[in-house]
Amino acid sequence: MDDDSPARPRATRVPLDAELTYWRDGNHGEGRLTDLSATGFYTATDAPAPVGSRLEISFTLPHDRSGKIVTGEVIVVRRDEAPRRGFGARFFRLPQAAARMIEEFLARAARRRS
């Protein structure tokens, strides 16, 4: 990596607490969705998936109880003590309906903060 390259802007993260289920290679795991951005999310879990894993992820947001299933790729794993143990993932394939739901959630959170 070139030290002169500009840092990539970081998407605004919004804290939340929502149940999350993920599947990898036919096995499922559970955790808590603890923050969300337009580009990814962090999941608190005792059994984090390894970096590079592609996961199918199911979650609901407070304003849309219908739930969505999306694909994410694990980019960081934290093996700290709970509650920070878990993994960060970026969205890999984000269906338009899921992207819209996330954008609405983020916009509502921004209005509440201002």
Instruction: Output the pLDDT for position 10.
Output: 65
Question: What is the domain extent for residue 78?
Answer: 14-113
Burial class (CB in 10 A: 0-12, 13-18, 19+), 22: buried
Is residue 31, in this structure, part of any structural domain at all? yes
Query: pLDDT by residue (tens digit) across 4-18?
Result: 434 455 678 899 999
Instruction: Output the pLDDT for position 9.
Output: 52
Q: How far apart are CA 23 and CA 55, in angstroms?
A: 6
Query: pLDDT by residue (tens digit) across 43-54?
Result: 999 989 999 999
Q: How far is CA 112 from CA 17, 32, 104, in A?
A: 16, 22, 12
Is residue 50, in this structure, part of any structural domain at all? yes
Say whether pLDDT at 2 is over 90: no
| pTM of the predicted protein model | 0.84
Is residue 58, in this structure, part of any structural domain at all? yes
Q: How far apart are CA 34 and CA 78, in angstroms?
A: 13
CATH of the domain at 20: 2.40.10.220
The domain tally of the chain equals 1
Say whether pLDDT at 30 is over 60: yes
* Strand (E) or helix (H) holding 99: helix 96-113
Which residue is associated with the tokens 């608190």? 44
